[in-house]
Amino acid sequence: MASRDLETPPEVVKLLEIAWGYWASQVLRQTAEMGLADQFAAGPRDADELAGELGLHGPTFRRFLRTLTGMGILTEVAPRRYALTPMGEALKTGAPGFARSTIIGLIGKLVSPAWENLDYSLKTGEPGFEKHYGKGLFEHIMETPGLPSLFSEIMVGIHGTEPPAVAQAYDFSGIGSLVDVGGASGNMLGHILSRHEGVRGVLYDLPHVVADAPALLGKFGVADRVAVQGGSFFEGVPEGHDAYLMSHIIHDWDEQECATILGHCHRAMKPGGKVLIVEMVLPEGDEPHPGKLLDMMMLCAPGGRERTPSEYEALLAASGFRMTRVVPTPSSVSVVEAVRA
């Protein structure tokens, strides 16, 4: 047997790296769920002392901490004494970026059953989440105490870099009034209005979702230029405005539900108005893009999907719009712009 036959092909190495990523994600999930970073609030900790406080098996826990040093989350500052690295600090509850909440939400117990039912989703086109829980993702979130606030933090964690990137990349200066449809806390609208002083905004989402928005809009210094309205985009949207922005709304829903939302925007907007869809627009070709993995998450959990430019063009045309351009941003999202056909 030739020596080259004993070598592991580089393609196999790459595949195994992807597979081992699952192990790392499970260690990270456990770290986040147990709130380990919060245990270091006062500084470095002795491993055996911390294991006793947490009711854990000391020798095994030391192995776990050693693994976290290899992942760059902890550092051993003295024998059996550990401290957080900057990456570990980011795992504290409420730290900027909400990494802990995002990790719990993305790879924790909430959505793992959805991924375990990926084969069901591939056979039926239906979300595995719904098969497991007997209800849709958003219905489950609304009915489960604590999940709405967790979900809000997850959205900040996943999409936190996007609002300033959108505000920078797209020219909102010609828009007099902008409706942020499904705008949640107003983070996107706050970034846009703080950068484009001539724009006035309407923040539109379910009443309980927008309840805390005025405080955040106040921090942006734009509260006096925003009207906060409660309602469902499945029932209608505020009428008579120049542009209707939807950030990570359209990708949550199937074609029929998207047609309902877009139809409301079509009827409500001023003549010459626009719709602006902020999503991870997938490349038409083979190149890697984070939205391609997100597309599988959308399939498994809420039952939505990511789309290519041509797929957005068809989706918009079905609701009476003409796609005019796709504006890239410094982040992973783009702005899909469309007008009435």
Per residue, the 3-state secondary structure of 270-331, as one string, reads CCCCEEEEEECCCCCCCCCCHHHHHHHHHHHCCCCCCCCHHHHHHHHHCCCEEEEEEEECCC
CATH 1.10.10.10 is held by the domain 3-89? yes
pLDDT of residue 255: 94
Tell me, what's the pLDDT at 205? 96
For the full predicted model, state whether its pTM sits above 0.85.
yes
Mean pLDDT of 136-142: 93
> Residue 2: pLDDT above 70?
no
Pinpoint the alpha helices (H) of 34-161: 47-54, 58-70, 86-89, 99-107, 112-116, 118-124, 128-133, 137-143, 147-159
Span 223-247, average pLDDT: 97
3-state secondary structure of 180: strand
CB 67 within 8 A of CB 27: yes
Residue 223 pLDDT class (50, 70, 90 cuts): very high
Comparing CA positions, the residue from 266, 212, 210, 211 lying closest to residue 241 is 266
Contacts of 328 (CB under 8 A, 6+ apart): 169, 334
How do the domains of the chain map onto residue ranges? 3-89, 106-156, 160-340
CA atoms within 13 A on the CB side of 247: 29
With contact defined as beta carbons under 8 Å apart, do 300 and 117 qualify?
Answer: yes
Residue 228 predicted with pLDDT over 80: yes
**Percentage of the residues of the chain whose pLDDT score is greater than 90:** 89
Whether 164 has a pLDDT exceeding 90, the answer reads yes
Q: Which residues contact 144 (CB under 8 A, 6 or more apart)?
A: none
Strands of 81-84's sheet in order across: 45-46, 81-84, 74-78
pLDDT digits (tens, 9 = 90+) for 31-52: 999 999 999 999 999 999 999 9
Q: Are strands 81-84 and 45-46 parallel, antiparallel or unpaired?
A: antiparallel
Q: What is the pLDDT of residue 3?
A: 56
Question: Is 251 one of the annotated active-site residues of the chain?
Answer: yes
| Intrachain domains 3-89 and 160-340 with the same fold | no
How far apart, in Å, are the Cα atoms of 302 and each of 13, 145, 215, 241, 251?
33, 19, 29, 29, 9
Does pLDDT of 212 surpass 90?
no
**Band (211; pLDDT cuts 50, 70, 90):** confident
Please state the rounded mean pLDDT for residues 115-122. 97
Out of 191, 248, 251, 266, the active site residue is 251
pLDDT digits (tens, 9 = 90+) for 248-262: 999 999 999 999 999
Confidence of residue 151 (pLDDT cuts 50, 70, 90): confident
In tens, the pLDDT along 66-117 reads 999 999 999 999 999 999 999 999 999 999 999 999 999 999 999 999 999 9
Residue type for position 120: Y
Among the CATH numbers 3.90.650.10, 1.10.10.10, 3.40.50.150, 3.40.50.2000, which is that of 160-340? 3.40.50.150
**Geometric angle at alpha carbon 299, from 294 and 301, rounded to 5°:** 90
Report the percent of the chain where pLDDT is more than 70: 98
C-alpha 296/C-alpha 280 separation (Å) is 13
> Is the predicted pLDDT of residue 29 greater than 90, yes or no?
yes
CA distance linking residue 112 with residue 236, whole number of Å = 34
pLDDT at 264 over 80: yes
Mean pLDDT of 229-258: 97
pLDDT at 4 over 70: no
Mean model confidence pLDDT for the chain? 95
